[in-house]
Amino acid sequence: MDKQYRSVSESSVYAELRRDAASLPHVSQLISKDRIQGYHVCAPHLSYSYSGARVTDAVLDLFQDATDELDLIGQYQRILAGEKMNFTENRSVQHHRTRSQTDAGWYGEELDRIAAFSKEVRLRYKRILHIGIGGSDLGPRAVYEALRRYASATTDVLPIYFVSNLDPDDLLSVMSTMSFTDTLVILASKSGTTLETTMNWKLLVELAQHQGISVSDLEKSTVVVTSKGGVLDDHNRYLNIFYIDDAIGGRYSLTSAIGGVVLSCAFGDDIFKRFLVGAAHMDDHALNSKLSANAPLLNAWIGVWERQFLGLTAKAVVPYVHALSLVVSHLQQLDCESNGKSVNRYGDKINWPTGPVVWGGVGSISQHSFFQWLHQGVNDSAIQLIGSRASQLPYLPSHTALNCNLAAQFTAFVCGDSHPDNQQKQCDGNRSTTLVMLETLSPESCGALISFYENTIMFQGFIWNINSFDQEAVQLGKQLAAQLDTTSPQTNPILSAIYDMINPSNSLI
Amino acid sequence: MDKQYRSVSESSVYAELRRDAASLPHVSQLISKDRIQGYHVCAPHLSYSYSGARVTDAVLDLFQDATDELDLIGQYQRILAGEKMNFTENRSVQHHRTRSQTDAGWYGEELDRIAAFSKEVRLRYKRILHIGIGGSDLGPRAVYEALRRYASATTDVLPIYFVSNLDPDDLLSVMSTMSFTDTLVILASKSGTTLETTMNWKLLVELAQHQGISVSDLEKSTVVVTSKGGVLDDHNRYLNIFYIDDAIGGRYSLTSAIGGVVLSCAFGDDIFKRFLVGAAHMDDHALNSKLSANAPLLNAWIGVWERQFLGLTAKAVVPYVHALSLVVSHLQQLDCESNGKSVNRYGDKINWPTGPVVWGGVGSISQHSFFQWLHQGVNDSAIQLIGSRASQLPYLPSHTALNCNLAAQFTAFVCGDSHPDNQQKQCDGNRSTTLVMLETLSPESCGALISFYENTIMFQGFIWNINSFDQEAVQLGKQLAAQLDTTSPQTNPILSAIYDMINPSNSLI
């Protein structure tokens, strides 16, 4: 393979970046009113502020140099052009095309089918039971929570009940609160063979039969989202089938049929299409080769800087928007599964750090939880706050109070507070802090936010020269679990001993 | 102040621990069937397995030496005896007494009052609206989720709707699904002045008035849990008042009236009392001065070892029990707020790391999310898995499959998988992995689990010589937010500039 790409560690600016990181002043010495206004990009439907990040003009100039040297925008363009940029799986990376507003390619037709189907569903059904896991669950769940209130102002929202866990408690708890009547089931599995989804479907069939509903009746209220030609692709059995392209990774499938079917059925296809428009706007914005005018690219560089050059191993993401609570879990998957890698795109072991621990929680709740750690603990985590300038609700004093708290915490993270006489109250500040502000929470800004993160992670993959589009490590656990199947010879003695210990029939406890 | 306590960094075993950490073999070379059986403690209602942790017999011996030298059990006994071990606030630490089964002290009477009250409530009301935040929210929420199904098998469960966020969307979303009729409101605030709880109460009053319900009628359906003599302590206004002692930190208040009132009302007082019994059993177990027979003490040492000596900055906690999903958030608060500190108990700046980033999520869902990072990312996080040997549900194949996955992932984290010809599939293993197994999920095991973590964190505070019972950093954000009140002169120019930027009336975006 022609090893045409390199990482920032192999670029001409690496040594200088290291030097700059070693001599960085406290960010409270850098921040000023001018910097707050200057270190700020307006992107579609949101803005990105990095005045609280531990970067300087000199560092940003080096980011620009490396952007050009590593051809980051060119690599993104090659993804958009359909080149096989998922090297290890020898596939193209198609998720941008699912929302492209100019490309009437393969997705336009599927989107029309989804729209027509959702219109029918919204007349016939009262609620949705969604069975999927990972990429077929966390994204749709986060966006459902994000837009539920927004949508309900103008349309009837079909409530979605999400089930994903292998623990049968998940499905049983959900089914204890609802009936099969008037319920549309969505079975979302790219491969069609995902263990959790298969087991939950089997359990659902049992529950239905217990209530006198046959498998075939259940299937006739079930729509499947899967790969073309997979085991679930059977139009005779199910109410309908929609397809996800193999070249779209599960965690990047929110704007494909995986997000499209369930969100169109719940909110109507108009809202889902507006969500796509917002994502497409941000995809276009991300093509800007000028760093200071490209929010996801800036966020990518600042994240790499924090992780690799400042040694911050974690990134706390805190939305000060209650409806965005579940975005943290979606982002955790998106980032950790994409950039939790130790080899480069050519399969060579690398010696630089990659994606951080992505953690967090919603504000203001988190102020009463782990914020103590952020302020006075060891400084191991960068911080990204997300807010909304306007409330999606009618004017309420608590939204103002919420944004006062957001501004106050930003200031506290950056500037800290000095108590020479009482070290117990000392907050060192200098926490590298960035801020994403939505105009207001809407389908467009929500789509823009998702694309902002997807493109951030893509750029970071380019900068580290890793493949953000595969996930090889998920196989090992599956293979080991399969060895515990009673029909397999157990080959791994450690696995057997561990399983013996946790087996209920064992008396070790 | 007599500086009688020291940290492990100042102990006689420190240098040897450092040497051992530097020469540690890969844990796959240590693990064996014997080690799996030997590195295992049976504690009340759960067991603790540390065969996958990166420790050796020699290291464990040093932990035992330091346990004695630092007088860890003696310090715990002094807490139980009511000494003022919360140094900075000059208070005793009373949460163990809330569940003591031998001490008929101040809490017995309050518990009787709670039991009598809950019996009445369960006849009169159909659901509970719980308003609180942080310690007055995350713990009760986690235990409600944990025991909801268990309780519903034998009794009527009053559903609890928890509201905590300053974002008005939280309360408004909840209230859009329910009516005031037959709803008991619980207002939980230790100080009685918590911003979020006060604002949510005000909004609730407005919503009630909008429906023709007067403030005084609302107050007569409202029970308050607060400090004696605080602003909310007014028996004439509210249906009832219960008290939390000042010497119980919010995050440790789950076994006090904060957990007691809401959980007794939801499940009945019997289940809450059994929860206390489980916690008390674990408190007693934690008095054992022999390390190998003390699960929370072992967990504390292994956590310190991973954080300070192996340099793992994060700890991922993954319960393979769907009902324990919210335990991760509770634990995040408990640990990060307690041990996210940079000064010792005497206010001196320290030069060793303290509590890790506590993150995680529920299994098997997390396998499809951040597990890729754990297996193939940079090795920055220790891992703690939680499981349940028996299912709380009737036998179901998916519970067996769940535990097979738990055993498989444990094995994969420890042993990894070698692919010399395909580095892309290489999993290095050597992830320091521990396992907590409940007998089954029950009130007792749930109480034992909470006490297990509270005592782990307490011992870690002793080992690092920090005060795990204060939270000074929460003040700074409050003070800054108060400066943005229109009646205050704005003194901090950075704060003003940040607030101007996010203010909806500003046109920067």
| pTM of the model as a whole | 0.97
Among A269-278, A488-497, B165-174, B284-293, which is the least confidently predicted range? A488-497
Three-state DSSP class for B232? coil
Question: Which tens digit of pLDDT belongs to each residue from A153-168?
Answer: 999 999 999 999 999 9
Give how far B104 is from chain A: nearest CA, Å: 31
Active-site residue (options: B219, B337, B444, B454): B337
Three-state SS for A130? strand
Is the CA virtual torsion B234, B235, B240, B244 positive or negative?
Answer: positive
List the one residue out of A318, A306, A350, A357 whose CA is nearest residue A335.
Answer: A357
The closest alpha carbon to A429, from A452, A443, A412, belongs to: A412
Contacts of A194 (CB under 8 A, 6+ apart): A132, A133, A134, A136
Report yes or no: B122 and B262 within 8 Å, Cβ to Cβ: no
So what's the ipTM on this one? 0.96
**Helix ranges (DSSP H) in A176-254:** 195-210, 215-219
Q: Quick one: B419 and B327 in the same domain?
A: yes
The number of angstroms, rounded, from the C-alpha of B109 to the middle of its chain's C-alpha atoms is 26
Query: Are the beta carbons of B278 and B121 closer than 8 angstroms?
Result: no
Identified catalytic residue from A119, A228, A290, A478: A478
Q: What is the pLDDT of residue A379?
A: 85
Residue B508: the pLDDT is: 41
pLDDT higher than threshold 60 for residue A105: no
Q: A392 pLDDT band (50/70/90 cuts)?
A: confident
Residues B441, B326, single domain; the answer is yes
**Do residue A359 and residue B357 have CB atoms under 8 angstroms apart?**
yes
Distance CA B110, CA B120 (A): 16
Nearest-5° Cα angle at B55, B51 to B56: 95
Of A381, A376, A373, the C-alpha closest to B350 is A376
Interface of B with A in 103-142 (CB under 8 A): 133-135, 137-138
Which of these three, A250, A277, A304, is where a domain ends? Answer: A277
Which residue's structure tokens are 């920055």? B380
Chain A residues close to B149, C-beta within 8 Å: 169, 172-173
Q: Is residue A354 part of a domain?
A: yes
Tell me what pLDDT residue A507 has. Answer: 46
A333–B contact, CB cutoff 8 A? yes
Rounded to the nearest angstrom, the minimum Cα separation between B36 and chain A is 7
- What burial class does residue A236 get, using C-beta atoms within 10 Å of its C-beta: 0-12 exposed, 13-18 middle, 19+ buried? exposed
| pLDDT mean over A51-72 | 98
- Tell me the Cα Rg of chain B: 24
CA distance A345 to B420: 16
Closest residue in B to A168 (Cα–Cα):
B398
Half-sphere exposure in the Cβ direction for B265 (13 Å, CA): 29
Chain B residue closest in CA terms to A425: B472
Q: Are residues B240 and B206 in the same domain?
A: yes
Instruction: Please indicate whether residue B478 is annotated as part of the active site.
Output: yes
Cβ atoms within 10 Å of B58's Cβ, excluding its own: 12
CA B179 to chain centre: 31
Going by C-beta distance under 8 Å and a sequence separation of 6 or more, which residues neighbour residue A229? none
- For residue A74, is it within any domain? no
At A376 the pLDDT is: 97
Interface A-B: count of C-beta contacts within 8 A: 439
Per-residue pLDDT at A393 = 81
Are the beta carbons of A494 and B411 separated by less than 8 Å? yes
Residue A395 has pLDDT above 90, yes or no: no
Q: What is the mean pLDDT of the segment spanning A467-472? A: 96
Mapped onto helix, strand or coil, the DSSP state of residue B236 is coil
Q: What pLDDT is attached to residue A487? A: 63
Verify whether the Cβ–Cβ distance A480 to B393 is below 8 Å.
Answer: no
Among A464, A481, A502, where does a domain finish? Answer: A464
Q: What is the DSSP letter of B224?
A: E
The verdict on A268 and A343 lying in the same domain is no
Q: In chain A, which residues have their Cβ closer than 8 Å to the Cβ of B343?
A: 423-424, 426
* Residue closest to A251 by CA, chosen among A333, A164, A359, A165: A333
Q: What residues have CB less than 8 Å from B155, skipping those under 6 apart?
A: B267, B268, B271
Q: Are A447 and A279 within 8 A, CB to CB?
A: yes
Whose structure tokens read 């050009």?
A68
Could A396 and B203 be called an inter-chain contact, meaning their C-beta atoms sit closer than 8 Å? yes
Q: CA B178, CA B175: separation in Å to the nearest integer?
A: 5
| Contact between A377 and B428 using a beta-carbon 8 Å cutoff | no
The total of structural domains in chain A comes to: 2
Q: What is the DSSP letter of B439?
A: S
Distance CA B332, CA A370 (A): 7
**Taking Cα atoms as reference points, which of A484, A196, A88, A470 lies closest to residue B412?**
A484
Nearest to B332 among A320, A367, A369 (CB): A369
pLDDT of residue A506 exceeding 90: no
Residue at A507 is within a domain: no
Cβ contact B361:A361 at 8 Å = no
C-alpha radius of gyration, chain A, whole number: 24
A80 assigned to some structural domain: no
Residue A394: helix, strand or coil by DSSP?
coil
A419 is catalytic: no
Residue B192 belongs to a domain? yes
Please check whether residues B34 and B109 belong to one and the same domain. no
Q: Which of B33, B210, B235, B368 is catalytic?
A: B368
CB-based contact A380 B313, cutoff 8 Å: yes
Q: How confident is the model at residue A237 (pLDDT cuts 50, 70, 90)?
A: very high
pLDDT at residue B485, rounded to an integer:
74
- Tell whether A451 lies on the interface with B, counting CB pairs under 8 A: no
| CA–CA gap between residue B27 and residue B477 (Å, rounded) | 43
* Tokens coding A376: 């006075």
Point out the residues of chain B with pLDDT beneath 50: 507-509
Question: Shortest CB distance from A378 goes to which of B354, B403, B497?
Answer: B354
Nearest-5° Cα angle at A196, A201 to B317? 145
Instruction: Please tell me the least confidently modeled range out of A13-27, A393-407, B30-44.
Output: A393-407
> Does residue A379 lie within any of the structural domains?
yes
Residue A137, domain member (yes or no): yes
Domain boundaries, position A170: 95-277
Q: Does residue B369 sit in the same domain as residue B270?
A: no
Question: Distance between CA B99 and CA B88 in Å, rounded?
Answer: 25
Contact B477 A437 (CB under 8 A): no
pLDDT computed for residue A399 by the predictor: 86
For A31-52, how does the pLDDT look when each residue is reduced to its tens digit (9 = 90+)? 999 999 999 999 999 999 999 9
Shared-domain flag, residues B255 and B380: no
Please indicate, yes or no, if residue A77 is contained in any of the structural domains.
no
Residues A116, A180: one domain? yes
Whether A195 and A246 map to the same domain: the answer is yes
Structural domain ending residue among the three candidates A277, A298, A327:
A277
Catalytic-residue membership of B368: yes
Q: How confident is the model at residue A103 (pLDDT cuts 50, 70, 90)?
A: low
**What pLDDT score does A109 carry?**
84
| Neighbour order of strands in the sheet with A46-49 | A40-43, A46-49, A433-438, A381-388, A314-319, A357-360
Nearest to B166 by CA among A112, A359, A398: A398
Q: Which residues contact A297 (CB under 8 A, 6 or more apart)?
A: A67, A72, A73, A286, A288, A291, A455, A456, A459
Mean pLDDT (chain A) is 94
- Of the listed A33, A210, A349, A368, which one is catalytic? A368
* Cα angle, residue B87 at apex, residues B86 and B89 outer, rounded to 5°: 75
The answer on B324 and B353 residing in a single domain is yes
Residue type, A277: V
**pLDDT tens for residues B239-264?**
999 999 999 999 999 999 999 999 99
- Residues 136-165 (B) with a CB less than 8 A from some CB of A: 137-138, 148-149, 164-165
pLDDT-derived band at A504 (thresholds 50, 70, 90) equals low
Q: Are residues A271 and A298 part of one domain?
A: no
Dihedral Cα B343, B345, B347, B349, nearest 10 deg: -30
Structure tokens at A342: 């130790």
Query: Do A104 and A38 lie in a common domain?
Result: no
Is-contact A75 A61, C-beta < 8 A?
no
We report the CATH number of the domain holding residue A424 as 3.40.50.10490
Neighbours of A25 (CB within 10 A): 10
Report the pLDDT value the prediction gives residue A390, as an integer from 0 to 100. Answer: 87
